[in-house]
Structure 1
């Protein structure tokens, strides 16, 4: 069933033979030969196919997906970032990024929740369907239907007034060039793990991002694009506590102190 399934899943993903060949790292003519049954893929190529289609090797070889009423209704599926085919630019999705996610019985995408305790494991499991399947999941009907969403529980006070334990719901960003300066995002990277920051886009200048906290106690820092694995643009948040409104005495005292120091500096000048 390899030739039948290869043709079926290629069409399901909306790929041409040339595009599929690029993603598998083989020649386009081989894809045609595989689909027509004139040649058999090597084991390494079969493994790449199974991963790309998010099915087992056994299913790839023995299950006729073209006869299934709804092959997409598998509990797990993958979204392929294909914003660009330019492999030299990792920020635009040229290096194939496969996003594992879950769907309900009606094929609606769930929102998987990455709690604080799972944040460390997420760096290694973000592309692993089995890891994603173990995460809690929910749906928010108020979110736009276009896009893929994931929720992350944040820790610390770097993004006050949002408190530690707040859940940030983010929309998956497949082309990082589209991120506007100051956009609040969940950034998943090899150096910092999972963090919630305001992102300033420096891709064109030096292939990096500048990450800023809303809490001025924390200094901004640079993050190379090669260290980044995922970016989720913050679209909503869920919290058990409301941000404190009004101006506190501590804040007023700080303002008075700053003004006093500025006046003293002006007098010396």
Structure 2
């Protein structure tokens, strides 16, 4: 058994986690975790990093030393022995489709191995539903200074194919097509589907329903900027005051 295998087994003991519970935390299969603990298999470096970071343990310590229970408790104070006084919040691990792998996702969207290799975003959303995270790559869903901007991340819930017919119009969705991923408002018209941008100067796109490989309804967003806080007029007055103060100081 490797140091890594022994150490994750000790972590489970300290936390009172079964192999199944521990494996689910890191998107592993229980037999795979068992193989790690018994030294029959070695994990990917991504798995090692994920587990080490989660428990605030250095990678070097995980791989090269036989950690004691006291050391594990010292690494992170909330590693406690009594689960009855500690309730861990469950987070959903969501595969993240970045700007760099959009083309690959269109080809391999239903390939489990490809999906397992995607980066993961963990957030406290409703468990039991299927989510995907997509990067905004253009200004199509902007209206003046409002809307979704490039580098923002949209968390979307999967829409089942059998629900397409009853799906409401005007919803903001991510549609996966053969060669592109579209983020727009959707409208179903007979056997066609129309995608409308929020930006008034961008034409709509029209496809057949059968062109849609996957459909995801936008639910949450991570924005890559600090939103304006407070009243717009008040913010402008504060800005003017600062500019007047600068002019006064120069005089």
Matched, 1:185 2:167: no
For residues 35-114 of structure 1, the aligned pairs below 5 Å read 75=28, 109-114=92-97
Is the counterpart of residue 132 in structure 1 residue 118 in structure 2? no
Q: For residues 109 and 243 of structure 1, what CA distance do their matches in structure 2 show? A: 25
CA-CA distance at 1:240 after TM superposition? 1.2
- Counterpart position of 2:182: 195
Residue 153 of structure 1 aligns with which residue?
Answer: 135
In structure 1, the residue corresponding to 2:123 is in which secondary structure? coil
Aligned twin of 2:222: 238
SS at match of 1:240: coil
* Contact 2:133–2:153 (CA under 8 A) maintained in structure 1: yes
Secondary structure, aligned partner of 1:139: strand
**d(CA) in 2 for partners of 1:243, 1:225:** 36
Count of residue pairs the alignment pairs up = 147
Q: TM-score, with normalisation over the residues of structure 2? A: 0.52
Q: 1:172 aligns with which of 158, 176, 193?
A: 158
Alignment RMSD: 3.0
* SS of residue in 2 equivalent to 1:110: strand
Measured at CA, do residues 180 and 246 of structure 1 come closer, stay the same or move farther in structure 2, by a change above 3 Å?
A: farther
Residue number in structure 1 paired with 2:198: 214
CA change 1:242–1:224 in 2 (3 A) is: farther
- How far apart are residue 144 of structure 1 and its match? 2.4
Deviating runs (4+, > 4 A) in structure 1? 104-109, 242-247
CA contact (8 A) 2:92 2:123 kept: no
Q: Secondary structure at the match of 2:169?
A: coil
Query: Does the CA contact (< 8 Å) of 1:109 and 1:148 recur in 2?
Result: no
Residue 105 of structure 2 aligns to a residue in which SS?
helix
In 2 relative to 1, CA 177–242 (structure 1 residues): closer, same or farther, beyond 3 Å? farther
Post-superposition shift, 1:163?
0.8
Aligned to 2:148: 162
**What is the CA-CA distance between 1:246 and the residue it aligns to?**
5.4
Q: TM-score, normalised by structure 1?
A: 0.49
Deviation at 1:165, TM superposition (A): 1.0
